[in-house]
Amino acid sequence: MQNISNALQFIMKGGIMMYPLLFVSVVSMALIIERLMFFAKINNLDVSLLQKTKHLLTDNKREDLRAFLSSQKTPVADVLMTGVDTMDSNANDMDIAMEQHAVSIIPKLESKLWLLDTIITMAPLLGLLGTITGMIKAFQIFSTKGLNQPTAISGGVGEALIATATGLIVAVFTLLFYNYFNTKVRRLIKDMEFASNEFLRMVKQVEP
């Protein structure tokens, strides 16, 4: 209970802008947890996946290949499945089909990242606004009561500093995970491109 009381006092000292900052911090945390759970279910490209695909493709075991790809938890397998489904068409059509499927997957990978980007920009601005309101409060006290109430003046300055620090903390914390998720997305996109090219090469090798 003491920790909760101290946290509430800290929020109150930070002024009214602490409430929107608290809101965006909660939203940021919820989005980060959701994206971590999402990417935890997705595996990066494994060399064994391509090796197994090549083996089943060479043996002309399409149904086994479909079953294998369906069991893989990665967008790469989904793209390769599209290639298997279009194997009876020419190489150009296969390439286009896999590319279109990869493009359709990208929005799912990038989902909600724009919200994190918005929070990274918004949090410091909210902190800056809290700084301005705190300084206005401090100067108002100074102009009306002079230096007779230094505690009240320092309270306004403290409000300004707390809001600024909170906004920066939220932005930095969110930025770390935003960059991590962007790196994951770029890696998966490269994996899909590489796997598509490898699959086309495999098909050419097994063609009679």
Residue 102 within any structural domain of the chain? yes
Which residues 6+ apart lie within 8 Å of 178 measured at CB?
113, 116, 117, 120
Q: How many domains does the chain have?
A: 1
pTM comes to: 0.81
Cα–Cα dist 140/161, whole Å: 17
Domain presence at residue 164:
yes
**What share of residues in the chain are helix, strand, coil (percent, to 5)?**
85, 0, 15
Q: pLDDT of the chain along its 208 residues, tens only?
A: 555 555 556 566 667 788 889 899 999 999 999 999 999 988 777 788 888 888 888 888 888 888 888 888 889 999 999 988 888 878 788 888 999 999 999 999 999 999 999 999 999 999 888 887 777 666 665 556 555 555 544 555 666 678 888 899 999 999 999 999 999 999 999 999 999 999 888 888 776 5
Determine, yes or no, domain membership for 11. no
Residue 130 domain-assigned? yes
Side chain identity, residue 125: L
In a domain, 6, yes or no: no
Residue 3 included in any domain: no
| H-helix or E-strand spanning residue 34 | helix 18-40
Has residue 10 been placed in a domain?
Answer: no
State which residues form the domain around 64.
Answer: 17-208
Cβ proximity of 127 and 14 under 8 Å = no
Let me know if residue 49 belongs to a domain.
Answer: yes
